[in-house]
């Protein structure tokens, strides 16, 4: 992943001073910050509590689906449907992560 940023001179000096004190390069610091930001965003998916209300007519259709032998039980159908929905939402989220990252960095830099 390549991220280009134009940083104001005073902020650049502060970042370089910080890196010098810690004995790291600016690239290492920026890479670490980006990785941390991405990790935090991905961890948000693991902290989501999901409550679903399923209408009775859908449950009765699921029961017919189970009776026909297409699934083992109602829970399996609901779990698979929710898992598919969450995977689609996660793909949409990852598709848009770059925009979120740019917004997060916009306070201190201008992204090219």
Note the pLDDT tens digit of each residue in 45-98. Answer: 766 667 788 899 999 999 998 999 988 888 888 888 888 988 888 888 877 777
Max avg pLDDT among 6-10, 63-67, 95-99, 100-104: 63-67
Give me the pLDDT at residue 64, please.
Answer: 92
Beta pairing class for 110-111 and 5-6: antiparallel
Indicate the domain borders of the chain: 5-111
Q: Is 7 left (phi over 0), alpha (psi -120 to 50) or beta?
A: beta
Closest CA to 3 of 37, 42, 54: 37
Strand pairing partners for 6?
Answer: 110
pTM of structure: 0.42
Q: What is the sign, positive or negative, of the torsion defined by CA atoms of 33, 38, 96, 48? A: negative
Residue 111's pLDDT band, with cuts at 50, 70 and 90, is very low
Share above pLDDT 70 across residues of the chain, in percent, rounded to a whole number:
83
């Amino acid at each position: 992943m390549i991220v280009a940023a134009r940083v104001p001179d005073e902020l650049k000096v502060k970042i370089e001073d910080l890196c010098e004190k810690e004995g790291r390069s600016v690239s290492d610091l920026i890479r670490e910050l980006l990785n941390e930001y991405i990790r935090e965003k991905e961890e948000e998916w693991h902290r989501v509590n999901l409550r679903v209300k399923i209408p009775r007519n859908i449950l009765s259709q699921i029961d017919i689906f189970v009776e026909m032998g297409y699934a083992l039980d109602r829970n399996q159908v609901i779990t698979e449907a929710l898992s598919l929905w969450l995977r689609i939402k996660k793909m949409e989220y990852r598709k848009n992560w770059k925009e979120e990252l740019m917004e997060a960095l916009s306070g201190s830099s201008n992204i090219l």
